[in-house]
Amino acid sequence: MVRRTWTSIWAKGMARNLAAFRKATKPSKKRKQARKTAPAAGRSAARAPALRALARRALARRAALTSRPAALGRFSAANKKQHGERWLAGVAVESAGTRRYMLYHPPQLHPGERLPMIVMLHGCGQDAEGFAASTRMNQIALRERVVVLYPEQDRLANPQGCWNWFDTKSGRAYREAELVMAVVEEACSLFPVDRGRVAVAGLSAGGSMAALLVTRYPEHFKAVVMHSGIPPGTADCVLTAMGAMQGRRATSPLDSSVSTTAAPLPPLLVIHGTDDAVVDVRNGRAAAQIWADAAGARAASGRGVQRGARYPMKLTDFKHNGNTAATLAEVQRLGHAWSGGAAKQPFGDAQGPDASRMVWAFAAKHFTEAAG
């Protein structure tokens, strides 16, 4: 049985609307002949009724989408019953395309309240809901009163659900970053988000996209976390991405020209397992280093940290004038998985230090520093 969500209903409705619009505006032979002699203003006027009808249908479906919660799967329903969570689905539309997303916000929002937001980008073979289940980020968000946004890759864009962070040669990576930014902007417009307290984190391909995203739009984020990812400037197509995953590609220095503004890069937290056989740990080290180089920061002495029976990790801070530009967390014995993630979920390792807690602690620290 196919589970229908408000996202799928909205998307199918939009597809019908677009098909109707194309049919209504497709020129017949007579209309093609008339267009050769008709002025541009007349052609625009002829298309106006169809455009207005399309807009009315889209707005009506958008209103239905944002006024009703998404249909809930087993994971979401269980959490809603336990915590009173709100788990909503949506679709952001941009000139480069559309992307679905899931959004969690804590209950009992107060008038005028503005909440921080964490953007979570899933890895290959995952979707928004599965990533939320694996990371258990909503539990932290419930306690800390945080909005969590989960953009979801379209399987038509990548059959494995990977973000195409590597495809800079064709420009597809930048277009996807633009789409993710459109999702972020929509969430900030529809929900009570404090735009001055937004951070982004991701796993694997999602971590790579998170790093690319903040190099394009640094002014929108106060912190970024790359978990088991590859930094920008390491690959530009599928073939070079394969080499980068194996740690066989050098990473180019960050070029300020890739940014759309002159804003400085937000601080970076890198989390990477030393036993990662999918994305070599050298990529994590390279990411921290190029971030440090861009800020003129230097590495401090590494320090070992272990909490209880969890895997130990080595933390290295890169600082400039007392400010942290990057932090590298190398987790011993961790493979290609979300550290501290749910054991029953794919790409989660419950024995690692809790990466979700680390994400929030890192983001909250830099939210406070930015506000001060």
- In which band, very low, low, confident or very high, does the pLDDT at 173 lie, cut at 50, 70 and 90? very high
**Is the per-residue pLDDT at 76 higher than 90?**
no
Per-residue model confidence as pLDDT tens digits over 324-346: 999 999 999 999 999 999 999 99
% of the chain exceeding 70 in pLDDT: 75
**Is the per-residue pLDDT at 272 higher than 80?**
yes
What are the C-alpha distances in Å from 40 to residues 21, 29, 44? 19, 18, 6
Q: In degrees, to the nearest 5, what angle opens at C-alpha 331 toward C-alphas 328 and 337? A: 105
Q: What is the mean pLDDT of residues 120-129?
A: 97
Phi, psi at 327, each rounded to 5°: -130, 130
How far apart CA 53 and CA 20 sit, in angstroms, is: 10
137-144 and 128-135 helices, crossing angle to 10°: 70
Q: What is the mean pLDDT of residues 20-45?
A: 52
Here the contacts of 361-364 (C-beta below 8 Å, separation 24 or greater) are 362/199, 362/223, 362/225, 362/267, 362/269, 362/327, 363/116, 363/118, 363/197, 363/199, 363/201, 363/222, 363/223, 363/225, 364/116, 364/144
- In which band, very low, low, confident or very high, does the pLDDT at 230 lie, cut at 50, 70 and 90? very high
- In which band, very low, low, confident or very high, does the pLDDT at 26 lie, cut at 50, 70 and 90? low
Structure-token match 């272990």, residue found: 306
How far apart CA 149 and CA 163 sit, in angstroms, is: 16
Are 87 and 70 a contacting pair, CB within 8 Å?
Answer: yes
Q: Which of 13-17, 96-100, 243-247 has the lowest mean pLDDT?
A: 13-17
Give the mean pLDDT of the chain.
83
Kind plus residue range of the DSSP H or E element containing 272: strand 268-273
Are 107 and 86 a contacting pair, CB within 8 Å?
Answer: yes
Structure-token match 């007579």, residue found: 30
How far apart CA 24 and CA 147 sit, in angstroms, is: 41
Q: What is the mean pLDDT of residues 127-152?
A: 96
Q: Which of 109-113, 184-188, 259-263 has the lowest mean pLDDT?
A: 259-263
Per-residue model confidence as pLDDT tens digits over 311-324: 999 999 999 999 99
**pLDDT of the residue at 244:** 96
Query: Where in the chain do CATH 3.40.50.1820 domains reside?
Result: 74-371
Q: What is the pTM of this model?
A: 0.79
How far apart CA 293 and CA 365 sit, in angstroms, is: 22
Length of the chain: 372
Give the contacts of 279 (CB within 8 A, at least 6 positions apart).
Answer: 204, 228, 229, 230, 245, 272, 336
**Is the per-residue pLDDT at 256 higher than 50?**
no
How far apart CA 128 and CA 52 sit, in angstroms, is: 33
Architecture of domain 74-371: 3-Layer(aba) Sandwich (3.40)
**pLDDT of the residue at 78:** 52
Residue with more model confidence, 40 or 27: 27
